[in-house]
Structures are given as C-alpha cells and as structure tokens.
A = this chain, B = another copy of it.
C-alpha cells in the first residue's frame, strides 16, 4: 500500500539522529548542563561574521534579483568563483562548467551514486563509514561492499580493496578527514589506493571512480593541507559542503566537482545533472549561492576544535581510555570498555554521556565522540567519563 522500504527508513532514523533526539528530551527533563551530548556533527563554532554581513548586504538587493531560480547547476558567477578558489589552492585547471552546486554533501553523494551506478552494481565503502552511505547506495539498488580500514592506523587497506573489487565495482567512497575516526588519509595511502583502482579499471575495461566526500577538508590538525584526491587519482568526483567549514549545516549548500581529467568528464557531469533532476533537486538555495560567492575566502575557525580536542584527549588519556589520535574533523574514536559497543554506550548513557556506538558505522567495539560542542561540555563531562571507567575496573 505504501513503500515499506521508505517506511522503514522513516520509522527507524539513524542511530545518531535517535541519540540526538534522546538527548534533547533528556536535557528538557534534567537540565541541559547535566547531559553530555556528543552525538551529532552540528558545529559548535558559529558561522564567521562575514556570513551575516553578506546576508544583510544581499537582503538590500531588489527581491526579484535575489530569490529567483538559478540554472540547475547553480549560478555561473558562483561556480566561477569556486573554480578559481580551487585552482588557487590545488591547481587542476577547473572551470565553472565542472561544478554542479547542490544542497550539501548528502545531496552530492546521493547524486554521484545515482549518476555512476545502475541497480546490481557495487560501491565500496571503507569501514568505519558514515552510516547513510549504505542507505543511499542500497536505495539506488546497488550493493554496498564494506572493506575495513587497517586496524593499526585506520588508513585505507588498499590490498583489501583490491580483493573486494569485482566487474560490477563502480566506485569507492573515500572520506578524509574521516568521520567517524578523525584520520586524514596520507598521500602515500591514497597513492596505494590509486594504484589498485587504476589496475582494476584497466582490468575491468572501464573506470572505477573515487567519490571523495570532503566536508571536513579544512578541519585538519596535521599542519599539512588535506591531500587533494583528484591530484592523486584523476577519476575522482569531489563532494563538498560548507556545512562544517563555515558552520552552515542547515543551509544545505555544497557541490559536486567533475574535473576535466575525469574519463568522459562531460558525460559524467551530465549524468550528475540528470541524477540531481531525478532526485527532485531544482537548484541549490539561491541566497546561499550568493553568500558563498562573497564568502569563499572567509577564514575557517579551527582553533575552537583544536582546544576541544586537546581537553578531550588529555582528559580521556589520563583516565585510561584508548582512542585514535584525531588528525582532522571533530570526532574522537574511542575503544569501548567491553566488546559490545552498544552495551558500552548504554552504560555511558546512564552517566548522561551520549556516545554513538560503532555498530552503525560498520564495525564493533568502539564509540564516536563528536567534540563539536561547547568547551564546557567536555570539561564538565570528565567526572562522568571517570565514573564510567571505574565501573569497568
């Protein structure tokens, strides 16, 4: 009578969203300062002041100029400015015509998956991975093939990817800086992956693409820029969003980049346009297209996350927790104190610590702590983390 798959997706929101909803209720119940909600990737750093200034300036423009339809791929002037910025930072010789503006990284990823695959194809994800990857892949009738990251350092296990590739493999989703682990895949690691994919593309007689999900590109604590994936593997489609870098997650503005070095780049670009159309997208929000055009150089404030990261990792290390030292993004990947991550997260919840168990990211035994919260939340959560650790001693 209705589509039961869609019903199931609506009735059981992601574990992250469920925990976030629980946290809102719990805060209302016992007070916001008593609940340590590390569930969601909602940036605590406010958008830079340039954004509000741009919005105010734009709101003075004639209204018919401001809110009208843009072409479906986005305003030509906004795309040109983004291309210039990418060329300055990464080279690549990009033009406005290589960019398709979207409603954020989720839209970008869903569009790329639908553009590159037909039902029965396969897309590889590197576990642990953002849970919605599997949902979008499977919604397209495509098989989600999970390849675990290396246990030692959570970099990509290129030989394992090689072993997972079949004739039906169309793409690998790469997410660096990584959600949920916080790793940045090194240039060497990406080069290993590139070698595997180049060989497999040749064997298959058609390209295997990288879909590079990069909302955390600028949130990098290594002192080096995040390696630019298309410079390592040309058959890369870049999915970007200003949600995290400019703290605009609700405004839904991002892009897909199909550079000139992508095989059959014009055909792939048009398939991206077609997938956007089929998924019901008309154009990215017009006002925020104009805001991005004016604010592309707005500085990304990483310092607050650097401070959060230090307080959190120092505190947890002292208490005896094991975790992966984060190189980017704003997540800490912490070893659960028992093998069952869900059971551990449930016990943490009793201390008002809202940690996302690793199961929905495709692996067992860990939890994700989103540290894009007010600094105080981290400081004040330490007694709870201490009590939780003591329970396991």
For chain A, residues 170 to 210, give those with C-beta under 8 angstroms from any C-beta of chain B: 206-207
**Binary contact track A1-42/B, C-beta < 8 Å → 1, others 0:** 111011111110100010001000000000000000000101
Closest to A6 in B: B274
Question: A150 in the interface, Cβ–Cβ < 8 Å?
Answer: no
Contact A9 B277 (CB under 8 A): yes
Closest to A266 in B: B11
Report the interface size class on chain A.
Answer: 35 or more
Bound-complex Cα distance A70 to B20 (A): 11
Contact B252 A285 (CB under 8 A): yes
- Chain B residues closer than 8 Å to A287, beta-carbon distance: 55, 250-251, 287-288
Q: Which of A3, A71, A111, A206 has the most CB of B within 10 A?
A: A3
Contact B40 A67 (CB under 8 A): no
Question: A46 in the interface, Cβ–Cβ < 8 Å?
Answer: yes
Contact B63 A47 (CB under 8 A): yes
What is the minimal beta-carbon distance from A91 to any residue of chain B, in angstroms?
Answer: 26
Contact A250 B286 (CB under 8 A): yes
Contact A118 B3 (CB under 8 A): yes
Supposing A68-B250, A247-B64, A249-B68 touch, asked if A280 and B109 sit within 8 A by C-beta, the answer is yes
For chain A, residues 49 to 91, give those with C-beta under 8 angstroms from any C-beta of chain B: 49, 51-52, 55-56, 59-60, 62-64, 66-72
Question: A166 in the interface, Cβ–Cβ < 8 Å?
Answer: no
Of the candidates B2, B11, B47, B110, the one whose C-beta lies within 8 Å of that of A66 is B47
Bound-complex Cα distance A60 to B52 (A): 7
- Chain B residues closer than 8 Å to A250, beta-carbon distance: 67-70, 283, 285-287, 289
Stretch of A99-107, A343-351, A381-389 lying at the B interface: A99-107
Q: Which of A1, A52, A62, A117 has the most CB of B within 10 A?
A: A1
- Chain B residues closer than 8 Å to A132, beta-carbon distance: 277
Contact B67 A44 (CB under 8 A): no
Contact A267 B7 (CB under 8 A): yes
Q: State the 6 A-B residue pairs at the shortest beta-carbon distance, nearest first.
A: A250-B286, A110-B280, A10-B274, A9-B274, A10-B273, A10-B270
